[in-house]
Structure 1
Amino acid sequence: MCRAMKEGIFFLLIKILLAGASSLTGHPNVLLIVVDDLRPALGCYDDTLALTPNIDSLAQQGTIFTRAYAQQALCGPSRTSFLTSRRPETTRLYDVHSYWRKHAGNFTTLPQYFKEHGYHTVSAGKIFHPGIVSNHSDDQPYSWSEPPFHPPTQAHKQDPVCLGHDGKLHTSIYCPVQVEEQPGRSLPDIQTTEFAVAWLEKRAARQELLKETPAEPFFLAVGYHKPHIPLKFPSQFLDMFPISSIPLATNPHLPRGLPPVAWNPWNDLRWRADIAALNVSFPYGPMPDYYARYIRQGYYAATTYTDSLIGDLLDAVNTHFPDTIIAFIGDHGWSLGEHQEWSKFSNFEVATRVPFIISRWRHHKTSPFKGFSSIYPRIKKANVHLVSKNQYHKRYVGEDMKRKHVYKNGVETTLNSIFDFLRSSRLFKSHDFENKSRMYESSKMRLISHDGLVELVDLFPTLVDLAGLPALNTCPQESRLTDTCTEGTSLSPLLHFIWDNTESRAFETTRSPLTSFLGRNKGQDNEDSDKGNAEQYSMIKTMQMDPKQLSGIGMKRAAFSQYPRPGPKPSIHPDSDQPPARDTTIMGYSLRTLRFRYTAWVGFNGSTLTPDWSNVVAQELYDHQVDPLEDHNLISHPHYASASIQLHNQLMQGWRQATSVL
């Protein structure tokens, strides 16, 4: 080949590449934040115990979805589901023992789709579930433009580093630690944040050098492990949650009429040293109150720790990449003593409901974020000491609870160093810092929320649309041979409607309570009408908008979740919390409408992975209008006979019949 021809081909390739890069100019960068086992224990979700200023600042600049649900309350199936926008029935993954590309179909993932459309995709921390679920590779080479980052200290996840009441180190659930004394002198989520921030800084520096070349947009996914158990976090974060201030769950008892198959006996907690030492009877023995407070304290402290790290990440985004779409989700919920249960592994509201926030971020001259890197050096070193039950009652019960702390030798580290930072944050400008419960007073936090039903399978099509990429088609009935499609609904039309009208000042809202944007649900059953449904046109009325502007907005009449069981009663062997698919004999299919949660436990063939709807083992029905905590199973109540039949039929019809488009 002559030199001139070679040069011609070379310059032609350069022209094609630049044209491709130019075609993506103007497409926003995307940041996806996934937090493991995070229920909506956030200030922006009206949790008065939570201290999450950075996530709340993000929520103030976006839209929060107050009724968002995972498709299964287990990490592997949930993540595979929302990263492919396919439901567990399609991915055929109900456990953590198979890879969907080999087991179900060659389904395109969320990051893969962005990569195939010109984005540079990067993973830090836990995005895909590790192990065989993602082919021991985080779905490489399909999903990521560079090798995914996993923090080296995650290898020490189960090390015995947790201080017990005997003064020795154990593998426990409750595990506040001194970071400097840990293997690697760090913790996984700290390392993940450091990597992500450094990556953003390098990316910004490179972009500055090549500013004349169209910038390739990025899709950065950052996954945080905490508050997943063990609850291992810097012990200094306990200071924000004195043990004496930690309440028990408001409904710490078995629901009336609960069928045994629905029970989650929290097997994954029982083998840990601190829980095993309590000698709690199986399967229904309650956690002692004093230790229930420790676990709840640890969960909230771990969440605040993660929030501080997210503050560092968001600060870097605000500094370097202001034109960014940011999505924040939990992969499923977690029970904190409600119904006498702990962990996930169920179809209850606390296990399936998740935080879901989407923000179209714009640059702030003064960053609203105060992260771990600025807070942690200012916190005094605290010596943590876990007390026994008898010591707890002596030390914390009665009037003394108002004054004592859990720290050894009465060491007291106050909140002042934290509040010094928070006072400068716009979010807390006018709040009373001496009373944390007032820091998140609804009337002081301006939020925009959508109270309609949303599912995690909606994430994929929503981000695709917001990024301006080719929209996904709805999956056909049999979609195993369809690589790219969605079993969710894009929230983009709704988000654009809200954003366009808030930015044009068509309305302003100060949340008290959460402002509702309830879309019209066509064909809503009378049995499912409640106060929220009675105001289903409030969005149109409040904004005084032409209904034609709502065209294309999808509204769901139901959200769907499910959970497998190996038998009709709780068991350790086989594990009724995490049964392998081959051991599954019953599947619990759960339907959440605006008013009801209905669950049918039906026979299931673990070999063919198919349900037998003629074999209904048990049913649950909870009326959220009168029982929002799901404490009373009303399936046998004659008043609800008609609703039960109606909801069962709706459940069998499935998700395709549950979405209306305005």
Structure 2
Amino acid sequence: MGAGINRFVLLFVLALPPSGIVMGQMRGNVVGNDSSRPNVLFIAVDDLRPQLGCYGDKVAITPNIDRLAKMGVVFNRAYCQQAVCAPSRASVMTGRRPDETKVWDLKAHFRTALPDVVTLPQYFKQHGYDTRNVGKIYHDPKNAQDPISWSAPEIMAVTDVAGPKYILTENLPTEGSWKAAATECVDVPDSAYVDGKVGDAAVHLLSELKDTTFFLAVGFRRPHLPFTAPKRYWDLYEADNIPWPAHDRAPENVPAIALHNSVELRGYSDIPDIGPLSPQKIRELRHGYYASVSYIDHQIGRLIDELERQGLLANTVIVLWSDHGFHLGELDLWSKTTNFELDTRVPLIVASPLLHYQHVHTDALVELVDIYPTLADLVGLPIPPGLAGTSMAPLMENPDRAWKKAVFSQFPRPWMYKDKPEVMGYSVRTADYRYTEWIATNDKSIKAAELYYYKDGVETANLVNQAAFSEKQAVMKRLLHDGWRNARPENTGRPDLSVKN
């Protein structure tokens, strides 16, 4: 980044209220609404991997997300804490990691383990923000929601009231069966499907909130399976130009526990229960994923346009994140639920009106758990104690500065367990390597280990216990066992308020 931009940024940074100083007047435990604080538009996209133009994808048609990228900071190396919906979202919204929330599956609620935890939107509500939710922010079922987080009831937060995934009669659920096709392409308006309805509701709500100081969370479900999107988004792509999966076989020497049988995809009516997918089906699925991404990109563009129309763009922090990545045939896997790169790496873009960048990228390692303290920091709220992430605001001030040594993810086996997981796979990622240990939950014995070097961007061979990599394995093992607290950046200028063991 040029020195001229750095000087310009510094002037705005000096104008930011320091962390720990609360603006406004206290009303009990609620801080009065200070209209000088920025609004927050918090956009979550389900199953979105960094398959976007601003991340270098030459096929993806994502002009609106690319536009957002030009307004802020693109985090090239952002990682989720667990690569499946409920655990990742619980981690983001509480600012805690899965072993603290105790949410490792799709059933547990974070308030069982943390009944008094203050969620991200709840914290903003306590400080005078009007906090609203449209679409999927927490996991889908009604019992997974958290009404105390919001100033008003959620809108279309769960699929049974949000809108349809399918249009075609043959794909509509019937009594005793939920199975339908994994893709659908129909010439209908955007609002025929659920995410168009979410986009409509969010745009309307922005006009309602324009005279408040708001935290608006908008959650889109595509490109989660099924890959259903209006035909015009499919037509953006030539099927023959859809790239084939890179490295479409499992890594050499990979332990079986690290893999899965793509059960999420196998549940669809046009997908075989076992065995390989045909080349035609692989291309169709990948085409459907791209179409779904472009469909959501258009909805995001509508939100940015409405902010601009209402005169709110210059006073709104925008964050775009995905709960986890996704395999599209790479490593012979489909969907998520692993510790591999394509499942754990996510897109993350943050644009702040007080930090004037022009399409800045950073290669610093960051995590989704960092979003909570970052948003508090950016709007001038004190960073609350107990969070397991680190504010990225100093990194946004200087995207080239030294930052985290490593980031951490995990995944249980078996994935759908009864009482508790039998084994937990703990994974640490540095700039070039990933090391994972699969640890039994009863006796803490190591059942398997993995070491990968990312010279090709994906896992090609497990290098664990190879003599040439013994030194690197020892370093990575030590990083993993030292844990996330010891991998944090030094001298951020922000207080360390994380829980100490």
TM-score by length of 1: 0.65
The separation in 2 between residues aligned to 1:635 and 1:290, in whole angstroms, is 36
2:166/2:228 contact within 8 Å kept: no
Q: How far is 1:599 from its partner? A: 0.7
Q: Secondary structure at the match of 1:309?
A: helix
Which of 622, 633, 640 aligns to 2:462? It is: 633
Q: Secondary structure at the match of 1:219?
A: strand
Q: Summarize the Cα distance change of 1:561–1:22 in structure 2 as closer, same or farther, 3 Å threshold.
A: closer
The separation in 1 between residues aligned to 2:69 and 2:380, in whole angstroms, is 22
Which of 416, 421, 427 aligns to 1:590? It is: 427
Q: How far is 1:361 from its partner? A: 4.2
Q: How far is 1:38 from its partner? A: 0.4
2:47/2:326 contact within 8 Å kept: yes
The Cα offsets for residues 221-279 of structure 1, whole Å up to 9 and x where unpaired, read as 00000000111110221111121111211211111111100012110111211103xx5
The separation in 2 between residues aligned to 1:163 and 1:171, in whole angstroms, is 5
Unaligned residue ranges in structure 2 (runs of 5+): 1-24, 173-177, 492-501
Give the corresponding residue for 1:616.
446
Q: Secondary structure at the match of 2:372?
A: helix
Whether 1:197 aligns to 2:203 is yes
Whether 1:116 aligns to 2:126 is yes
Whether 1:519 aligns to 2:348 is no
What one-letter code is carried by the residue in structure 2 that aligns with 1:220? L
Which of 295, 320, 326 aligns to 1:334? It is: 326
Q: Secondary structure at the match of 1:44?
A: helix
The separation in 1 between residues aligned to 2:54 and 2:404, in whole angstroms, is 23
Give the corresponding residue for 1:302.
292
Residues 119-130 of structure 1: matches in 2 within 5 Å?
Answer: 119-130=129-140
Q: Secondary structure at the match of 2:82?
A: coil
The separation in 2 between residues aligned to 1:292 and 1:67, in whole angstroms, is 27
Q: Secondary structure at the match of 1:660?
A: coil
Residues 140-219 of structure 1: matches in 2 within 5 Å?
Answer: 140=147, 142-150=148-156, 154=162, 156-157=164-165, 161=169, 171-179=180-188, 186-204=192-210, 207=211, 216-219=212-215
Give the corresponding residue for 2:13.
none
The separation in 1 between residues aligned to 2:26 and 2:277, in whole angstroms, is 64
Whether 1:81 aligns to 2:75 is no
The Cα offsets for residues 80-105 of structure 1, whole Å up to 9 and x where unpaired, read as 00100000010011001121112344
The separation in 2 between residues aligned to 1:270 and 1:228, in whole angstroms, is 14
Q: Summarize the Cα distance change of 1:446–1:121 in structure 2 as closer, same or farther, 3 Å threshold.
A: closer
The Cα offsets for residues 543-595 of structure 1, whole Å up to 9 and x where unpaired, read as xxxxxxxxxxxx211100000112xxxxxxxxxxx313525211110100112
Which of 383, 393, 404 aligns to 1:556? It is: 404
Q: How far is 1:175 from its partner? A: 1.7
Q: Secondary structure at the match of 1:304?
A: helix
Q: Secondary structure at the match of 1:129?
A: coil
What one-letter code is carried by the residue in structure 1 that aligns with 2:392? L
The Cα offsets for residues 15-47 of structure 1, whole Å up to 9 and x where unpaired, read as 998xx8876131001100000000001100001
Q: How far is 1:518 from its partner? A: 3.8
* Seq. identity, %: 39
The ranges of structure 1 where at least 4 consecutive aligned residues each deviate by more than 4 angstroms after the TM superposition are: 20-23, 158-164
The separation in 1 between residues aligned to 2:470 and 2:31, in whole angstroms, is 60
2:352/2:378 contact within 8 Å kept: no
The separation in 2 between residues aligned to 1:226 and 1:325, in whole angstroms, is 23
The separation in 2 between residues aligned to 1:658 and 1:110, in whole angstroms, is 23
Residues 518-557 of structure 1: matches in 2 within 5 Å?
Answer: 518-520=400-402, 555-557=403-405
1:327/1:356 contact within 8 Å kept: yes
Residues 234-633 of structure 1: matches in 2 within 5 Å?
Answer: 234-276=230-272, 280-281=274-275, 286-320=276-310, 321-322=312-313, 323-361=315-353, 447-473=359-385, 485-495=386-396, 497-498=397-398, 517-520=399-402, 555-566=403-414, 578-580=415-417, 582=419, 584-605=421-442, 612-613=443-444, 615-624=445-454, 626-633=455-462
1:254/1:631 contact within 8 Å kept: yes
Q: Summarize the Cα distance change of 1:100–1:158 in structure 2 as closer, same or farther, 3 Å threshold.
A: farther
Q: Summarize the Cα distance change of 1:230–1:324 in structure 2 as closer, same or farther, 3 Å threshold.
A: same
Count of equivalent residues: 455
The separation in 2 between residues aligned to 1:579 and 1:16, in whole angstroms, is 45
Give the corresponding residue for 2:106.
96
Q: Secondary structure at the match of 1:244?
A: helix
The separation in 1 between residues aligned to 2:167 and 2:263, in whole angstroms, is 19
Q: Secondary structure at the match of 1:556?
A: coil
The Cα offsets for residues 292-315 of structure 1, whole Å up to 9 and x where unpaired, read as 111110001100000011111110
Give the corresponding residue for 2:35.
25
Q: How far is 1:163 from its partner? A: 7.1
1:160/1:170 contact within 8 Å kept: no
The Cα offsets for residues 88-125 of structure 1, whole Å up to 9 and x where unpaired, read as 01001100112111234421100000000100000000
Q: Secondary structure at the match of 2:438?
A: strand
Q: Summarize the Cα distance change of 1:297–1:561 in structure 2 as closer, same or farther, 3 Å threshold.
A: same
**Farther-moved stretch of structure 1 (102-111 vs 38-47):** 102-111
Q: How far is 1:337 from its partner? A: 0.9
TM-score by length of 2: 0.86
**Farther-moved stretch of structure 1 (40-49 vs 445-454):** 445-454
Q: Summarize the Cα distance change of 1:89–1:601 in structure 2 as closer, same or farther, 3 Å threshold.
A: same
1:162/1:177 contact within 8 Å kept: no
2:135/2:162 contact within 8 Å kept: no
2:54/2:69 contact within 8 Å kept: yes
Q: How far is 1:155 from its partner? A: 5.4
The separation in 1 between residues aligned to 2:167 and 2:65, in whole angstroms, is 30
2:83/2:344 contact within 8 Å kept: yes
Q: Summarize the Cα distance change of 1:85–1:581 in structure 2 as closer, same or farther, 3 Å threshold.
A: farther
Residues 127-142 of structure 1: matches in 2 within 5 Å?
Answer: 127-131=137-141, 135-136=143-144, 138-140=145-147, 142=148
The separation in 2 between residues aligned to 1:310 and 1:21, in whole angstroms, is 30
What one-letter code is carried by the residue in structure 1 that aligns with 2:288? G
Q: Secondary structure at the match of 1:275?
A: coil
Q: Summarize the Cα distance change of 1:170–1:587 in structure 2 as closer, same or farther, 3 Å threshold.
A: closer
Give the corresponding residue for 1:373.
none
1:162/1:170 contact within 8 Å kept: no
1:153/1:187 contact within 8 Å kept: no
Q: Secondary structure at the match of 1:227?
A: coil
Unaligned residue ranges in structure 1 (runs of 5+): 1-14, 208-215, 365-444, 474-484, 499-516, 521-554, 567-577, 606-611
The Cα offsets for residues 425-467 of structure 1, whole Å up to 9 and x where unpaired, read as xxxxxxxxxxxxxxxxxxxx96211101000000000000111
Give the corresponding residue for 2:19.
none
1:38/1:330 contact within 8 Å kept: yes
What one-letter code is carried by the residue in structure 1 that aligns with 2:228? K
Q: Summarize the Cα distance change of 1:254–1:143 in structure 2 as closer, same or farther, 3 Å threshold.
A: same
Q: How far is 1:156 from its partner? A: 3.9
2:40/2:318 contact within 8 Å kept: yes
Highest relative contact order (Cα 8 Å, sep 6+), 1 or 2? 2
Q: Secondary structure at the match of 1:649?
A: helix
